[in-house]
Chain A
Amino acid sequence: MNDIPWQAWAAWLSILAPLAGSLALGMVALLAPNIPVERSVTRCMQACLALALASTVAVGIGNGLAGNTGDIFFGDWVIAGEYKIPLTLRIDWLGILFATMSALLALLVARFSRTYLHRDPGFFRFFFMMGVFATGAQLVAFAGALDLMFAGWEAVGLASTLFIGFFHDRPEPIRSSIRALSTYRLCDSGFLLAVVAAHEWLHSTTLASLDGISSLPTWQATVIAALLMVSAMGKSAQLPFSGWLSRATEGPTPSSALFYGGISIHLGLFLLLRTWSVIDHSPIVEGVGIGIGLLTALYAASIARVQPDAKGALAHATLAQVGIIFAEIAAGWTTIALVHLLCHASLRVWQYLRAPNILHDAHRIGEHAHSGGSWLRVWVPSIDRRLCAMALSRWRLDEATDALVAPVLRLSRFLARATRIKP
């Protein structure tokens, strides 16, 4: 333990500080007669998020001064026979940049929400989940093993689901949250299978061992890469898993900014960057990734142009860019993709937070949505109208998904009837 550099402890602090805040708030709410007051909640969570940001910046400074810290091994979290879950952090610039951005955006959004959600009945819930989210994002950024990364990944997914169903008095947010969770879980199955497969075939789930994936037969490397890509597609809402994104903006604006403008939607891209050594060994997965990214960009761009509401248009504009970044990563342009990702996430958070002001700004500045004609409208109006109608119906993606799920639900209803026992 004496050989562990202080940057590694600072990284742990950045992961655990928000979690400690959430646990403290949760225990107080569970045991005290009343839910804590707004001021206490915000002070506690903002202090924890500020600590996380300071720790992340310190990690960055330490890394800059002392050179790349690399993988730090803290021992085994679990040992059960041959099976071990290593407690490893990877401290490199990729993780530091993503963690700093996550911590900074989370702190900014927390500060913004203090006023935005003042006297909202879900005020406490919001800040509690912010802590869970920040922990998950920091853990994904610094994890040095797939098991640890999956824990953070799940925490972000859970927080996302709860934020979508935040205004639970209305039925639509509840339905949207169930749809988002279903997509997440389906795709996360890929991640979980990849973890187990990596463990069985590589005998370790550390990122360092993934770097040595060339020792595996091509089909095994391709299977792991494909499973990781499916997981990234779900989190980053790539086709055919894009349907949940347009409904995800049912949550409060600050959470939409943080999740679907900032961190959560880019988390899949971060996973691909982190496990690039695996993706790089599978040309099939790379090719499929480029195709999916570009298709998603076209799909989302077409919808963004016809969306009547600000948050819907922003969500699809974000998705179009995320599709492009996805293709960039799959094409191997990882540095460009990282710069694109960081700039895009910061811009979108700002745009989402400004979204409620769009009408006000338009009136003040005198700017109106232009309805100028495109070349397609001028030359082939019938095709333009058809494309516009398809984009308005989001290319019937939700209907196609529902048609696929319908037989499963029918089987589920049959089994529920068959297994119901009335003693």
Chain B
Amino acid sequence: MSTIDPMNVEPFLHLDLETASIFMLVLCCLLLCLAQRAGARGGIGVGVLFASAAALATTSLRADIALGTLGAACLVQASFCYRATHIGAIGLAVAGICTALAGWLHGRGVQEAAFILSMIALVIRVGPWPVQLAMSSLTTRAMGEHVRQLGMLMPLLFVHLRYLDHLDLAIAWSVPMVQVGACSMLIGGLASLSTPTLSGFFIITSSVHGAIILMACGAAGAGHEAAALFAGMTACVATGGLGAIVEAVRQRAGERSLVVAGGLSNSMPRLAALFLLFGAAGLGLPATAGFLADDLMLHALWQESPVSTAIVILSNGLLVIATWRAATRVFFGTDPIRHSDDARFADRILAGACLIGLVVLGFAPRLVLDPSLALLKANPVAGIVETQGVRN
């Protein structure tokens, strides 16, 4: 729909509407709606505000504006969840400040520092082991805010890949990031087999997906930007959807133990099905985007470190087993208590729309991959710097 012409970049607001960014925004908005249903603070107006911030960040051709907007949105979110969780709010605030600073530094031409700050913000928000403190606090006390921040993570990842992951530093960090991510994923995968509660299981699942996003950023540094974006989007939607379902279960039946069978499927069959679908979609369920995301990531990782690829495959298998174990312990068996109700109609519509998005991406991945290949490879940074130089 539009092309990047380095000689014609507007100084402040030049929007770049590509299929990839539009599709990502649709998924982002769906997650923002799911977040409202999962108890995120604020009404429709706040949701629209966050969606507008995501739209501006995704379509803006200026990195400082994009990162600044996302940083501000993160700070607003931190203020929303301060009452529920101080640690989560502090984490989000630090991430927001890092993002905004990254934008400012990028505008001043200090690219390496901007890259480091943006990576710090990403790591705090996705929470791979052992830095999952803020993320785990959010999931335990303010799941709605966590789902919302996963929705807003997609634009941040997009902006990071678009403006910052082309630097020499990103290339130098590529292999270490993949190796650290693989180790983090293995530890998460192993720990997931023995988590005693549903919340604990979700924290570890989020942490493993965080490690996947970290590895995706590493692989992107070595030229696999489109694969990284695809894997990141899939991880965000699948984890966000799973988080909303976990919260729905907790709202209806309280915290669930994974030591004995809970038997909730008799009163919540649809929530059980959605739990399994979102859990499996993030781990490579065929016919969803997760399957291709896995395939793409493994290929990208092999080129950086074949041993890490084997570790990732093994860890993924461990998390699949843990997901099935969690589903059987929460939903299977007999439950003498008849709980209130199953997923409500609005929840089902939203969750169904997210799943359809994952299925569409699974069947037609080139909707996102082809345009994002061109978009992320183009590196508009060079264009902007050059244009500003010419104008000055």
Residues of A participating in the B interface, judged by any CB pair closer than 8 Å: 19, 23, 26-27, 29-31, 35, 77-81, 83, 85, 136, 147, 151-152, 154-155, 158, 161, 165, 168-169, 171, 174, 177-178, 181-182, 185-186, 188-189, 192-193, 195-196, 199-200, 408-409, 411-413, 415-416, 418-421, 423
Contacts of A85 in B (CB 8 A): 292, 295
- Residues of the B chain whose Cβ atoms lie less than 8 Å from the Cβ of A136: 286
Question: Closest B-chain residue to A22, C-beta based?
Answer: B287
Q: Is the C-beta of B250 less than 8 angstroms from some C-beta in chain A? A: no
Closest 5 CB pairs of A and B: A423-B137, A168-B332, A185-B317, A151-B286, A415-B191
State whether the Cβ of B180 lies closer than 8 Å to any Cβ in chain A. Answer: no
A246 CB, min distance to chain B CBs, angstroms = 20
Query: Looking at the complex, which one of B85, B141, B291, B310 makes contact with A154 (CB distance below 8 Å)?
Result: B291
Q: Is the CB of A409 within 8 A of B299?
A: no
Q: Are B224 and A200 in contact (CB under 8 A)?
A: no
Q: Which residues of B contact A27 (CB under 8 A)?
A: 352
Asked, given contacts A30-B273, A79-B366, whether A168 binds B227 with beta carbons under 8 Å apart, the answer is no
Q: Which of the 9-residue segments B34-42, B319-327, B384-392 touches chain A?
A: B319-327
Residues A185 and B87 in contact in the complex (CB < 8 Å), given A80-B296, A151-B286, A412-B191? no
Determine the chain B residues whose CB is within 8 A of the CB of A419 once the complex forms. Answer: 129-130, 132, 187-188, 191, 204, 207
Can you list 20 A-B pairs with a CB-CB distance of less than 8 A? A30-B352, A77-B292, A77-B366, A79-B370, A80-B226, A80-B369, A83-B300, A85-B292, A136-B286, A154-B285, A165-B328, A168-B333, A174-B328, A181-B324, A185-B320, A185-B321, A200-B299, A412-B194, A419-B187, A423-B136
Cβ distance A190 to chain B, nearest Cβ, rounded Å: 9
Contact call B296/A412, Cβ cutoff below 8 A: no
**Complex Cα–Cα for A105 and B320 (A):** 29
Looking at the complex, which one of B200, B303, B332 makes contact with A416 (CB distance below 8 Å)?
B200
Most chain A CB atoms below 10 A, which of B137, B292, B317, B351 = B317
Contact A29:B226 (CB < 8 A) given known A85-B292, A188-B317, A416-B195: no
- Nearest-CB residue, chain B, relative to A185: B317
Chain A residues near B109 (CB-CB < 8 A): none
Does B314 make an interface contact (CB < 8 A)?
A: yes
Smallest beta-carbon distance B117→chain A, Å: 25
- What is the chain B residue whose CB lies nearest that of A186? B317
Answer yes or no: B206 CB below 8 A from chain A CBs. no
In the complex, which residues of chain B have a beta carbon less than 8 angstroms from the beta carbon of A81?
223-224, 226, 373
Contact B298–A196 (Cβ < 8 Å): yes
B349 pairs with A152, CB closer than 8 A: no
Once bound together, how far apart are the Cα atoms of A155 and B303, in whole Å?
28
Which residues of B approach A to under 8 Å, CB–CB?
A: 85, 87-88, 129-130, 132-133, 136-137, 140-141, 187-188, 190-196, 200, 203-204, 207, 223-224, 226-227, 230, 261, 263, 265, 269-270, 273-274, 280, 284-287, 291-292, 294-296, 298-300, 302-303, 309-310, 313-314, 317-318, 320-321, 324-325, 328, 331-334, 345, 348-349, 351-352, 359, 365-366, 369-370, 373
Cα(A26)–Cα(B130), bound, Å: 38
- Minimum CB–CB distance for A320 against chain B, Å: 29
Is B321 within 8 A of A177, CB to CB?
Answer: no
A174 CA to B333 CA in the complex, in Å?
A: 9
- In the bound complex, residues from chain B placing their C-beta under 8 Å from that of A152 are 286
Instruction: Give the CA-CA distance A416 to B259 in the complex, in Å.
Output: 13
Does B224 contact A80, Cβ atoms closer than 8 Å? yes
Query: Could you tell me if A421 and B194 are in contact, using CB atoms closer than 8 angstroms?
Result: no
Chain B interface helix/strand/loop/mixed: helix
- Docked CA distance A158–B280 (Å): 10
User: Beyond A85-B292, A147-B295, is A169–B187 a contact (Cβ under 8 Å)?
Assistant: no
Question: How far apart are the CA atoms of A161 and B280 in the complex, in Å?
Answer: 13
Contact A154 B191 (CB under 8 A): no
Contact between chains at B88 and A177 (CB < 8 Å):
no
Residues of A within 8 A of B359 (CB): 23
Q: Give the distance in Å from the alpha carbon of A193 to the alpha carbon of B351 in the complex.
A: 32
Cβ–Cβ < 8 Å partners of A188 in chain B: 317
Whether A31 lies near B352 (C-beta < 8 A) is: yes
Closest to A161 in B: B324
Residues of A within 8 Å of B331, CB to CB, are 168
In the complex, which residues of chain B have a beta carbon less than 8 angstroms from the beta carbon of A409? 193-194
Chain A residues within an 8 Å CB radius of B287: 19, 151, 155
Alpha-carbon distance between A248 and B346 when the two chains are bound, in angstroms: 38
Quick one: given A78-B292, A192-B298, are A423 and B194 in contact (CB under 8 Å)?
Answer: no
Determine if A177 and B328 form an interchain contact, defined as CB atoms under 8 angstroms apart: yes
Check B291 against A151 for contact (C-beta < 8 Å): yes
CB-CB < 8 A to B302: which residues of A? 196, 200
New A-B contacts (14) at CB < 8 Å, excluding given A31-B348, A78-B365: A83-B296, A151-B291, A168-B261, A169-B333, A174-B261, A174-B333, A192-B313, A196-B299, A415-B190, A415-B194, A416-B193, A420-B195, A423-B87, A423-B133
Q: Which residues of A contact B140 (CB under 8 A)?
A: 423
A189 x B313 contact (CB < 8 A): yes
**Interface residue from B85, B192, B349, B366 paired with A78 (Cβ < 8 Å):** B366
Known contacts A419-B191, A423-B141; A177 and B324 CB within 8 A of each other: yes
B-chain residues with CB within 8 Å of residue A189 when the two chains form the complex: 310, 313-314, 317
Contacting B265 at CB < 8 Å: which of A77, A168, A181, A413?
A: A168
Contacts of A408 in B (CB 8 A): 190, 193
Known A-B contacts A181-B320, A408-B190, A421-B132; the reply to A78 vs B296 at CB < 8 A is yes
